Chains A and B, each alone.
Chain A
Amino acid sequence: MRNPSRHLLIPMDPYTLAKGAERVKNALEKALALSKLTDRVRVVETGTIGHHEHGVLLIIYPDGVVYGDLTPDDVPQIVQEHLQGGRVVERLVVRDIKIPPFHPQVYRAEKQVRLVLRNVGLIDPENIEDYIANEGYEAAARALTSMTPQQVLETVKESGIQGRGGAGFPTGVKWSFAAREKAPQKYIVCNADEGEPGTFKDRLILEGDPHSVLEGMLLAGYAVGATKGYVYVRGEYRMSIARMRKAIDQARSKGLLGDNILGSGFSFDMEVREGAGAYICGEETALLESMEGKRGEPRNKPPFPPQAGLWGMPTVVNNVETLANIPLIVKNGAAWYRSFGTPTCPGTKVFTLVGNVVLPGLIEVPMGITLREVIFDIGRGIPKGRNFLFAQTGGTTGGILAAGELDVPMAYDTLRQVGSGLGSGALLVVDDSNCVVDLVQNFVEFFNHESCGKCTLCREGTGRLLELLNRLTSGQAEARDIDLIRRLAVNMKRAAFCGLGQAAPTPILGALDRFEEIFREHAEAHYCRSGVCPMNAQKAA
């Protein structure tokens, strides 16, 4: 191919594929061939660009035009009018979506700062050359040839990055625990089990820019002295699994994985492991159990994985997003990284904005942005003229924030103060057509489905909570049921075995603290003011 004059990016993610992206792409290739344009443009299949409301998308660079809601029938017109005639097809243009100039260092778009997502949607994730053309593997090359492992570790430590998998533990500190262990074998495990409802950022990072995760793992391995990496991907994520496997093969054939990488004497190789459907396997020790071929039930801690993890060897478990940040930190330095976010929580955070918002999707914002900005500026507010009821940050195990809390800065420490957390980065917006009791019941159904069943408080507790909430929403509750719910929740939080049972009460207690009156109406008056719960229908009948 000669130097193509135009790049046509077509995001191939679960959303667009569900809307027929494959057929649009075929139509495009056919039309290009017919118009003899094949040599002059390059069609790039990318990951998501973060917006999912506009169906199949086509992005034209360098023109900066985004077409949306495409069907195969729209394609000939785009080819004839835009690519040949130079006239934009106005009727197909999507104006909501702003795209950055080609090859951005940092990609900024109204309140968003895209570091982790810098490549996502803009490069072909199945082509390592695209990643390399965007400064990919520069950090690895620099680290392996001119930095010591200690220097890499120090850089990550100084950057202050905290784990993006939920708990927010400082990544550099975690690495240093593993680095100081002496063991015949150490491992890096990328936690891509992402099961938190409302969360799909890891999926879209893996599908849109797998090499950034791979490079992050390579750097982690170098820093702590690990020579083997595993990516544990949720079994339902077929495309993530395929793209990550492909990325690994490509990196291996380029000599970026394997023995003596870039002549540095450092060896590192990787494999993908598939999950089989269990949310609890996102908990790092359950994940390790699952990798060892067992039921994914959490282990007792200590020892923590950096001391004794996979097969008893020192193991660093990091989230996908955490790892995707690492190449940037190593390449640009800790100070650069600290220029984003807040002093106590540096960097950006990828969120998945879901629920009752006008523009749901994948976004990346600096730490410290307020909830209001995210929901009302980036997400364009609540649709259908409805009002905000509450938001839940961090996925189903996250806390509940009511209208009065919209100006809380979104960072680990500030959210913790109001009994919530960043968790997985899910941000669920709920409008006033919903019932908080009904939603709490929905959360509890999830915990009940996903509890591993090992410890009494969570195994039995989630089941009983569900029974109690069913009573509330079906009009069979008694006043004392509210106290029972609270007692169960408080004791699960204090004394359950693992993070699931300890965090499951967070939204329950959060909702009870903020909306106790509504719970009481359900329990005492058998009345649901939003009319969602089935008892209203029964009463009417």
Chain B
Amino acid sequence: MATVIVDGIQVEVPDNATILEAAKLAKKEIPTLCYHPDLPAIGACRICVVEVEGEPLLKTACNTNVRDGMRIRTISPAIREARQTALELILSRHPQKCNECVRNGTCELQALASRIHVGEISFPYRQRPGSPDVSSGAVGRDPSKCVLCRRCVQVCEVIQSVGAIAVQGRGYDAWIDTPFSRALSEVGCVYCGQCVDRCPVGALFEVSHVERVWRALQDPEIHVVVQTAPAVRAAIGEEFGLPPGTLVTGQMVAALRRLGFDKVFDTDFTADLTIMEEGHELIGRLRDGGVLPMLTSCSPGWINFIEHFYPDLLPHLSSCKSPQQMFGALAKTYYAQKAGIDPSKIFVVSVMPCTAKKAEAARPEMKDSGYQDVDAVLTTREAARMMKEAGIDLSKLEPEDYDLPLGVSTGAGVIFGVTGGVMEAALRTVYEVVTGKKLEKIDILPVRGMEGIREAEIELDGLRVRAAVAHGLANARKLMDKIVSGQADYHFIEIMACPGGCLSGGGQPYPTTPEIRQKRAQALYEADRLLPLRKSHENPVIQELYREFLGKPNSHKAHELLHTHYTPKPVYG
């Protein structure tokens, strides 16, 4: 421990703490811009400068470690002037069109400018190099708004091991770009949106489907159904001022109903269905000597990654569509039939924690219902924005229930939103189906947690099934390299593109930090614990669906509607 003095207040901090952390303990919030708790501090923005006694120059709080006995001042005339100068330099190259900007209200630059008033900006506006790009239909870029904090570059390279974008040029003309300024859709970007989540400003954003959804809602001819992904309920409350980790399933349902959706359904239902299909696929592969390890396929960011970077491993992927796409396919077939609605008049909206889901929904092969299975994908943020525009404060609503039939689900479905959840849900079902015995310990703890790669073993009637879980694509890459080199003796691997799983997907409320991730995870496990049914195969509507419509898991019909195929894709198109 080190003793440091921050603005006259003495605090004890761990030896390797930064000044930023020490100040926090002294209840001083030093302003930052380029710093993000997920990423190595690079000291680029110079906003967090402080004075350290004995040092002739100002020091950046984010990347300077404390020393025992260090005396720090977090505000002084020199500090104020340096921060104002840095901020003024940033603002003078920023379009400042807050009122047209998707980040209005959540923008870190806006908040910083509101905290540190610069008064008049002394320099004329000069636009940054680079041009806007929404080619991917999922993740959009507007380099004119970039403040060069490099968070996106770091997350894309370090956490996702994709490297679709990087710093280009140098000096005043440095900018963030794809190689040769190609479209994001041509450089191996997997649309995970982790860069969108880290971006402090509106330079990265989801390509919006809000207007599309409003149009459908306002068209009396169209029957609009919405599905909500597991991870959304653990986060959307944050958009309405609730603390992270507040579970708002019922209020979210109520809010969506008030927005005018004809039916509010749950992606958890098709998550349960995914477990049935995927679990049986695994059992089949184990029995018939199929390709192992089998890899989960519900994260489109991950699917894009493997198609681009490990095309040779595609046979390892489960052929199951993601829950979002299974839902779309059923909504326009099974549900349309049951409700007696012309499927061409059904408009399927998903509310997802994810940006990649937008591109997934638009894939040409996702038309097994005879129509594009999912018509629009809203991120959690976009859904909240629509609610706010309509004057709906979710936090003030009484909880309501999902509609039938596609709104019934189990605890196994809801933990899909957290890393390890698909694995845990699958093992619950596979165990009982294979052994015919009841699983006593439902919580499979070894697959839980936030470690990058986790392993577990489960005994199935004498067969030991080895499983692994990875989240964040750099971790996925490690496992893939193990498979390629023949060192992976697993049977089943769950991969989620985003660190922590969907709960910190690229479409979730700002910000996502390690603490917020923990809280959202706890909320999902809590949701699981509270549900009466916690195994997918016990879901009565799923059972009915098989009886009435699909036959049995992995039947011909199930394959037609619920399974898909993958295509190798070059990294650089």
Contacts and interface: CB of A to CB of B under 8 A. Distances in A.
A461 interface: yes
B7 to A, nearest CB: 19
A39 to B, nearest CB: 56
A464 B90 CA distance: 11
B171 A462 contact: yes
A108 B123 CA distance: 54
16 contacts: A295-B167, A300-B42, A300-B63, A451-B171, A451-B172, A456-B89, A461-B89, A463-B171, A488-B85, A491-B85, A491-B86, A493-B57, A494-B49, A494-B82, A495-B58, A502-B57
A158 B57 CA distance: 30
B44 A278 contact: no
Contacts of A164: none
B89 A487 contact: no
Contacts of A494: 49, 57-58, 78, 82
Contacts of B85: 457, 461, 487-488, 491, 495
Contact of A459 (B47, B82, B172): B172
A450 B169 CA distance: 11
Contacts of A460: 89-90, 92-93, 172
The DSSP consensus for interface residues of chain B is loop
Contacts of B39: none
Contacts of B89: 456-457, 460-461, 464
A478 to B, nearest CB: 11
Q: How large is the interface on B (under 10, 10 to 19, 20 to 34, 35 or more residues)?
A: 20 to 34
A452 interface: yes
Interface of A: 278, 295, 300, 302, 448-457, 459-464, 466-467, 484, 487-488, 490-491, 493-497, 502
B88 to A, nearest CB: 9
Interface in B31-75: 41-47, 49, 57-58, 60, 63, 65
A452 B123 contact: no
Contacts of B342: none
A460 B169 CA distance: 14
A487 B43 CA distance: 21
Interface of B: 41-47, 49, 57-58, 60, 63, 65, 78, 81-82, 85-86, 89-90, 92-93, 122-123, 126, 148, 167, 169-174
A455 B47 CA distance: 10
A394 to B, nearest CB: 18
A451 B49 CA distance: 20
A359 to B, nearest CB: 35
Given A457-B85, A495-B86, A497-B44, A278 B170 contact: yes
A463 B86 contact: no
Contact of A453 (B49, B65, B86, B170): B170
A491 B86 CA distance: 8
Contact of A456 (B45, B57, B81, B123): B45
Given A453-B173, A464-B123, A497-B44, 5 more contacts: A453-B148, A453-B172, A454-B44, A457-B46, A462-B172
Best-buried of A451, A464, A495 by chain B (most CB within 10 Å): A495
Contact of A484 (B47, B122, B167): B122
Report the 9 A-B pairs with minimum CB-CB distance, sorted nearest first.
Answer: A453-B174, A463-B172, A460-B89, A451-B171, A495-B82, A491-B85, A453-B170, A495-B58, A456-B86
B46 A455 contact: yes
A466 to B, nearest CB: 8
Contacts of A455: 43-46
A459 B57 contact: no
A235 to B, nearest CB: 15
A459 B171 contact: yes
Contacts of A453: 148, 167, 169-174
